[in-house]
């Protein structure tokens, strides 16, 4: 577990309970902001209700708290985490303090058999962001063609779609592309949900989170890449001029 202190007066004090979010949905919906997972491959349970993975609930601290921590669980057999705790901390350190103020926990979650039925990349619940592991081989399988939005978005980060003869689809990731996707899309998308205190409908909240991830994830990372390339070109010019 890694913890980052945003000021020197913070003394974290959390209670933790392992529950299915649906069991506490009525009690916690208003104050916890339970949201469906980012890019769910399956969005409903057998009962037809929205599916929420069984997760650890971390009681939010009061609003004056100013630190967050990263908790890493074992990813589960056949799975791996897309990012490390250090990756997450380094990425969040690039954001302004006000964006991190409501954040208490980032959990790199374990994949279980039940979660594997309705896998997703990430989820926001209360003041916690959950990032889910991916297949160890870095290849995801889909039983139906991807929606255009998912197809285009994953390609933006380097995901490669392959249609198989059986009618199924593969989404193939490289190490760097997957890391970029999680740090600059999934993580920032879920943070956008946490910061969204205006929208209430699912559609409006998703629209805001997508915009937030584009502005503060994809575009920010693209600007950083361009800056590094510009610095590299400047360095090479100076080097050759000697």
Beta-strand relationship, 2-5 and 55-58? unpaired
Query: 146-162, pLDDT tens digit by residue?
Result: 999 899 999 999 999 99
Query: 190-238, pLDDT tens digit by residue?
Result: 999 999 999 999 999 999 999 999 999 999 876 555 444 444 444 333 3
Q: Is the pLDDT of residue 5 over 90?
A: no
Global pTM exceeds 0.85: no
Instruction: Identify the band that residue 55 occupies on the pLDDT scale cut at 50, 70 and 90.
Output: confident
More confident: 91 or 220? 91
More confident: 5 or 238? 5
Q: Strand, coil or helix: what is 119?
A: coil
Task: List all residues 6 or more positions away from 231 whose beta carbon is below 8 Å from its beta carbon.
Answer: none
Alpha helices for 108-198 (secondary structure H)? 113-117, 148-156, 175-181, 187-195
Q: In this structure, how many other beta carbons lie within 10 angstroms of the beta carbon of residue 214? A: 18
What pLDDT score was predicted for residue 8? Answer: 35
Q: Is the pLDDT of residue 179 over 80?
A: yes
């Amino acid at each position: 577990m890694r913890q980052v202190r945003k000021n020197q007066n913070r003394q974290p004090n959390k209670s933790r309970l392992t529950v299915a979010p649906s069991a506490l949905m009525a009690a916690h919906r208003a104050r916890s902001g339970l949201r469906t997972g980012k890019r769910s491959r399956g969005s409903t349970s057998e009962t037809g209700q929205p599916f929420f993975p069984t997760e650890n609930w971390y009681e939010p601290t009061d609003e004056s708290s100013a630190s967050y921590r990263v908790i890493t669980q074992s990813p589960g057999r056949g799975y791996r985490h897309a990012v490390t705790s250090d990756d997450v901390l380094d990425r969040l350190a690039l954001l302004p303090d006000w964006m991190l103020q409501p954040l208490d926990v980032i959990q790199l979650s374990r994949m279980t058999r039940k979660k594997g039925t309705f896998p997703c990349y990430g989820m926001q619940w209360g003041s916690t962001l959950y990032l889910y592991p991916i297949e160890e081989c870095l290849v995801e399988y889909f039983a139906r063609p991807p929606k255009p939005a998912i197809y285009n978005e994953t390609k933006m980060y380097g995901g490669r779609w392959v249609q198989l003869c059986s009618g199924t689809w593969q989404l193939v990731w490289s190490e760097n592309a997957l890391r970029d996707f999680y740090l600059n899309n999934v993580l920032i998308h879920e943070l956008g949900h946490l910061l969204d205190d205006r929208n209430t409908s699912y559609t409006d909240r998703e629209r805001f989170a997508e915009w937030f991830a584009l502005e503060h994830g994809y575009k920010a990372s693209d600007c950083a890449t361009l800056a590094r390339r510009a610095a590299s070109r400047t360095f090479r010019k100076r080097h050759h001029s000697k």
